[in-house]
Amino acid sequence: MSSVTSSRVRVVRTPGRYAVLLNARAKGWTGKLHHDIQRFVSSQDLYLTDDFRQAERTVDKLIAADYDAIFTGGGDGTICYLMSAIEERIRAGKVSRDDAPPVGVLRMGTGNAIATFVGAGPVTEDLRALRAGAPLVVHEVDMLEGAEGLFPFAGIGWDAEVLNDYEWLKDAVRDTAVENYATGFGGYWMSLISRTIPKALRQKPVTITITNTADEALRIDQSGNVIRTYEPGEVIFEGPVSTCAPATIPYWGFKIRMFPQAATRPGFAHLRCFDGTVPWILSHLHKYWKGEFRPEDIDDFLIKRVDVEVHDRAVPYQVAGDGVGYERRVEWKVADAPVRLAVPMH
């Protein structure tokens, strides 16, 4: 492959061979999308999996086949699975970091925060560009890591509560006439209005303590200016929160720019603690969408690794837009090496 390098973005002019790995059981794998993928991806480079074990074996096969990129889609969780699977094989010594293929990002699924960050276009247009031999734009992107693998954002509090309520709503309407209206963006709003907001109005914020466990952490204002530096072992925040969330990319799903200072300093994640009210969010949705809040409602940090302790009760926890239960203690750490994410150049 030949390439042109600039900062953390590299343009590969002759991308070579790529594979497309998809879940054949995904809800979107029907109709027009199925037809388009088969039009633009050759049969020998299209890999469909039915379950986790098959997916694991397929990743090994793709790495052994020496593809220059492995594309996948289906939402942020699917991208995170492939990133984590490749990183696991790098750490196990099955492939070197330099030789490991970048993860190609296709805009599929619902949230698509990663696809938004790297500039993935409509899936049909990107597949057409790949088929035509378009150069690849390869981004080096920091990720958080934990027991769930690699992920670009996580959170405790309201954001995780919305996801839990969304999953409840989908289960409640499955195989009914309204099922199609309760998925995607519409489903999130239905669950927010019918379940999350009423609960948030009844519950008191929880109190948390956040301790810096890395060599440094930075307190910043909403413009990204450093206000204070913290040493290892120092408490950087203690108080009530409605939501506490870190991210290495600026976006939550649906292009909500919740973390405007993410990806501004390599090796750090943007951590936000929010203690505002539901009525304020509902009356300032345009600001919420851009990550703009009243200074008194928000505390911003740049962190490498922190320990978060919840004092009052276990709270909902989400990773990359998927609810993963309830927690009273979590650790958030920026992975030692960034991942490589690719999209075709148009």
| Structural domains of the chain, with CATH | 3-142+340-344 (3.40.50.10330), 153-319 (2.60.200)
Share of the chain above pLDDT 70, in %: 79
CA–CA distances in Å: residue 9 to residues 6, 16, 334, 340, 341: 6, 18, 19, 9, 10
Q: Are strands 339-344 and 315-319 parallel, antiparallel or unpaired?
A: unpaired
> Which residues on neighbouring strands pair with residue 207, listed in sequence order?
240
* 3-class secondary-structure state, position 35: helix
User: How many whole angstroms separate alpha carbon 315 and alpha carbon 319?
Assistant: 13
Single-letter amino acid code for the residue at 206: V
CA dist list (Å): 32 to 36, 37, 89, 125, 170? 6, 9, 34, 13, 23
pLDDT at 54: 87
| Bridge pairing between strands 217-220 and 298-303 | antiparallel
266 close to 237: Cβ distance less than 8 angstroms: no
Q: Given this model, what pLDDT does residue 166 score?
A: 60
SS3 content of the chain, % helix, strand, coil (to 5): 35, 35, 35
Q: Using an 8 Å Cβ cutoff, are 261 and 220 in contact? A: yes
The two three-digit tokens of residue 175, written as one number? 């195989």
Helix (H, G, I), strand (E, B) or coil at 188: helix
Token duo for residue 148? 């769930």
The list of the chain residues with pLDDT below 70 reads 1-7, 24-31, 158-203, 254, 278-286, 288-289
Residue 192 CB contacts under 8 Å (≥ 6 apart), including other chains? 162, 165
* Residue in the block written with tokens 């061979």: 17
pLDDT confidence of residue 261: 95
- For 71, 104, 106, 142, 258, the CA distances from 344, given in Å and listed in that order, are 10, 9, 10, 20, 26
Count helices and strands in the chain by DSSP H and E runs: 10, 22
pLDDT at 25: 65
The answer to whether the beta carbons of residues 87 and 150 sit under 8 Å apart is yes
- Looking at residue 74, its pLDDT comes to 81
> Tell me, what's the pLDDT at 292?
77
Q: Is 57 exposed, middle or buried (0-12, 13-18, 19+ CB in 10 A)?
A: exposed
Angle at which helices 123-131 and 31-40 cross, to 10°: 10
Question: Six-digit token pair at 328?
Answer: 């009273």
- State how far the Cα of 254 lies from the Cα of 6, in Å rounded to an integer: 28
Q: How far apart are CA 196 and CA 181, in angstroms?
A: 18
